[in-house]
Amino acid sequence: MKSKRIFASILSSLICMSIFTACSGSNGGQSTPSDEKSIQSVSSEQSEESKNDETSKESQVSEQSNAKTHTFYIRDAGKNAELKATFLNTTTEKTEEVSMTKVSEGDDYFIYSCEGNINAYNMVHVTSSDGDTMDVAFNEFVSGWYLNAGELLPYVEGKEPNYKPKYETKVLKFDGYDKNVHIWTPTDYDKNSGEKYSVIYMLDGQSVLSTEVAGEIQCWNVAEHVESMMAVTDNKAIIAAIETVGGISEDEKYSGTRDDELIPDLGELADPDFVSNKRGNAFSDFVYNDVVKYVEENYNVYTDAAHNSICGSSFGGLESFYIGMEHPDKFGTIGALSASFWMYSEENWKNYFKTKTFDEKMPFIYFYAGSYAQDTASCDVPTYNWLVENGYPKDKLVFNKDEDGAHFVPFWRNIYPEFLEAMFTQKVSGLESGVPVEYKDKGENSQTRQTEISIDPNDPRTAETMNYIYFDNSETKWEKIYAYWWGNASKNKITGQDMYGAAWPGIEMEKIGDTDIYRIAVPVGPTGFIFDTGVTDDEIKAGVVGYQTEDLIYNANINAGQIYKIDVSQEAKKGRGIEKTKYKYPAGSWSNYEG
């Protein structure tokens, strides 16, 4: 599934456009020669083309000689008659399509495989009768992927998929309230043996291990990723997943939020309207002094930096970056996925970096970002480039750009094996370390938060129509229609209400008269969006059936005044695990609502 590119920025991008802008700009043009070409110049160009051809051939020969193949396995629950794999390098954009071979089968699955060059490609997606999957990591740290209802999940080839990892939970104290730390160990872990394990410290522990930890709709499946890695490499690791949901102190005098825990105090926030107590410095010390100490005292683990890493996404990516930079003696690798560097200005970041010595003792940093429009590339790219160009060891920096990626758990789950490779090898196959990153599509970014919707003055529809979005229920015949948006601080265009529709399942839509059309006031700006039947997560857990669209990419500048209709000819896909009674329609379309 590939995200639709839209021409707008999420809230994070709105602020971080100015961060390290000098590092992310182009080099500027050169003078243009005369259009009239002499015989000599034409001959020179032909000679240059010939040289380029020879260089291309030499490059192909070199690539073949440097090829290193890895078997790509798919367990297909849909038992498709054929599967194709498309390998991709996210830097060079080179692709290769390969027909997969069915190598075995079971009662409810087929096993397909093919070979790919891990030195040439770092991502892959599968094409089945359901269409294209999302791109996932391709390297030697992946045993296999389980294809179910168009989604790829990590699993160990040759074993039955199991997405209910067992873990222990230790309750520690931070800022006077309970802090859950979920600790997962592999099935072969023996606390009485002398065998030692590396440790992966994960922030946002409520969503990285299991959907059953906090009823999260999406999960990183990091335990399954590590099991997959251990099946095909000699590396062993346990996971310490630290919840970051805030809490209330026992004396009820203090309450903290995720926005408090995961934002360090580096000065004035770039967004003056953003509210945070900036407890990230204290949280960093808590991880270093309390969480690490507990793990090292109670589990068979290495204690050196080379065998310890810290990883997170969004605010968790920001705080992971900060923790790793503050404690390079303990964390040898940082996973900064879609990190929220936009929280601070260029000046703040430069002042912070002045306090650091960029030497070989610094951690290896794995950066990942999706698009400018739907993720944090507009601040992650210039931050990374600034480090590259200002003395950070180049062999300790690598960036994977996904120009179609969005700020959403499945993207981080799919890329996670790259972080594992970075941790254990200090490199990423198919990507070059320490080179500047440039995006082709930078979308439309703004220096200020969007508060109004730009409407085409030639559009004949009324302003009232343009204040709403609509849903056509003529074929779905749902009893109730709800609208839910996520991934941005949405604002109601009519009332100005902030954090509009923040809680699942969203807000019930208004039925228009006796028609099958429903409407709701639009959120301003770009956001993720879902139409659903209003069934809560608790009801889903209890077995109540719910329906929804898949996650849509929404932008008020494009979709205000439009109506969405589900394509019921494409069957709704059944959820998995605790979402087994939730059904998602995979397709639909927007069109102008004429009233």
Domain end point (choices 411, 436, 452):
411
Q: Is residue 114 part of a domain?
A: yes
Mean pLDDT of 431-460: 64
Which is higher by pLDDT, 25 or 434? 434
Number of domains forming the structure of the chain? 3
Place of tokens 């997405």: 163
Evaluated on CA atoms 408, 319, 391, 379, the torsion sign reads positive
Instruction: Please tell me whether residues 320 and 363 are part of one structural domain.
Output: yes
How much of the chain, in percent, has pLDDT values that exceed 90?
62
CATH of the domain at 559: 2.60.40
In-domain check, residue 21: no
Last residue of a domain, one of 100, 120, 155: 155
Are the beta carbons of 105 and 76 closer than 8 angstroms? Answer: no
Provide mean pLDDT across the span 143-152.
Answer: 91
Do the domain assignments include residue 14?
no
Residues 150 and 216 in one domain: no
Highest mean pLDDT among 52-66, 103-117, 216-230: 103-117
Does one domain contain both 204 and 295?
A: yes
Q: Are 219 and 260 in the same domain? A: yes
Would residue 223 count as lying in a domain? Answer: yes
Q: Residue 364 carries which side chain, given as an amino acid letter?
A: F
Residue 456 DSSP SS3: coil
Q: Are residues 284 and 396 in the same domain?
A: yes
- For position 432, what pLDDT does the model report? 96
CB 393 within 8 A of CB 358: yes
Q: What is the pLDDT of residue 522?
A: 84
Token pair belonging to 282? 């204290």
pLDDT at position 30 is: 35
- 24/541 Cα distance (integer angstroms): 46
Token digits of residue 583: 């059904």
The first and second tokens of residue 35, run together, are: 């259009």
Q: Write down the pLDDT at residue 573.
A: 86
Instruction: Kindly state whether residues 95 and 237 are assigned to the same domain.
Output: no
Instruction: Judge whether 117 lies within some domain.
Output: yes
DSSP string across 158-226? TS-------EEEEEEEETTEEEEEEEE--TT--TTS---BEEEEEESHHHHS-HHHH--SS---HHHHH
Residues 180 and 281 placed together within one structural domain of the fold: yes
In eight-state DSSP terms, residue 498 is B
CB 317 within 8 A of CB 335: yes
Same domain flag for 233 and 112:
no
Which tokens go with 116?
A: 């790919």
- Residue 33 counted as domain residue: no
Do 119 and 172 lie in a common domain?
A: no
For 39, residues 6+ apart whose C-beta sits below 8 A from its C-beta are none
Q: Residue 12: which pLDDT band, with cuts at 50, 70 and 90?
A: very low
- Is residue 336 situated within a structural domain? yes
CB distance 348 to 372 below 8 Å: no
Which DSSP symbol is given to 149?
T
Residue type, 95: T
Domain encompassing residue 125: 69-155
Q: Are residues 272 and 330 in the same domain?
A: yes
Query: Considering the entire predicted model, what is its pTM?
Result: 0.75
Q: What is the dihedral of CA 314, 318, 321, 323, to 10 degrees?
A: -120
Q: Is 556 exposed, middle or buried (0-12, 13-18, 19+ CB in 10 A)?
A: buried
Any idea what DSSP says for residue 487?
Answer: S
Is a pLDDT exceeding 50 seen at residue 9? no
Quote the mean pLDDT of the chain: 84
Distance CA 451, CA 438 (A): 29
Final residue in a domain of this structure, among 350, 379, 411: 411
- Report which listed range, 211-225, 319-333, 534-548, is most confident: 319-333
Quick one: pLDDT band at residue 63, thresholds 50, 70, 90? low
Greater confidence (140 vs 22) lies with: 140
pLDDT of residue 231 exceeding 80, the answer is: yes
pLDDT at residue 218 in the model? 72
What mean pLDDT comes out for the span 402-427? Answer: 93
Residue pair 8/526 in contact by the 8 Å Cβ criterion: yes
* Whether residue 306 is found in the same domain as residue 228: yes
pLDDT digits (tens, 9 = 90+) for 477-499: 999 999 988 655 566 666 666 65
d(CA 406, CA 443): 13
- Is the domain of 240 the same as that of 327? yes
Indicate which CATH number applies to the domain containing 216.
3.40.50.1820
3-class secondary structure per residue, 101-148: EEEEEECCEEEEEEEEECCCCCEEEEEECCEECCCEECCCCCCEEEEE
Is the per-residue pLDDT at 446 higher than 60? Answer: no
- 324 within domain boundaries: yes
